[in-house]
């Protein structure tokens, strides 16, 4: 976990994601997932770049079952962008930074 990302759980998801004042990109991940670990530095970097504009959150799917199931997470890494409490976009896999940046920029416009 980076100092720039926030840790979300089934218990605090509503407060930290759905009620957030900025868009939140939630990374559904697990510590045993190679692609999840590979994309983590990119997400940390985006958290710094978009600080104050977009929050980057991480949810461990092994420790939290309710929210990933509710949002149909079938494979990881799986990133879901929430804005104003609603799903705005999602992307699966360890994708390039430019693709994630484009998704975040779209949410800010």
Q: pLDDT per residue over 57-99, tens digit each?
A: 999 999 999 999 999 999 999 999 999 999 999 999 999 999 9
Domains of the chain (ranges; CATH) run 6-108 (3.40.30.10)
Enzyme catalytic residues: 33, 36
Q: Which residues pair with 57 in a beta bridge?
A: 6, 26
The predicted structure's pLDDT at residue 2: 58
Q: Is 10 left (phi over 0), alpha (psi -120 to 50) or beta?
A: alpha
Cα(27)–Cα(39) distance, integer angstroms:
10
Cα(8)–Cα(3) distance, integer angstroms:
13
Q: Give the position of tokens 């559904």.
A: 28
């Amino acid at each position: 976990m980076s100092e720039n990302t926030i840790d979300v759980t089934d218990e605090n998801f509503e407060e930290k994601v759905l009620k957030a004042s900025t868009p939140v990109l939630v990374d559904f991940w697990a510590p045993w997932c190679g692609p999840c670990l590979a994309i983590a530095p990119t997400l940390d970097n985006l958290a710094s770049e978009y600080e104050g504009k977009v929050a980057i959150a991480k949810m461990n799917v092994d420790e939290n079952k309710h929210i990933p199931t509710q949002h149909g997470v079938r494979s990881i890494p799986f990133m879901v962008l929430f804005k104003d409490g609603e799903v705005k976009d999602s992307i699966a896999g360890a994708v390039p930074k430019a693709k994630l940046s484009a998704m975040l920029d779209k949410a800010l416009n």
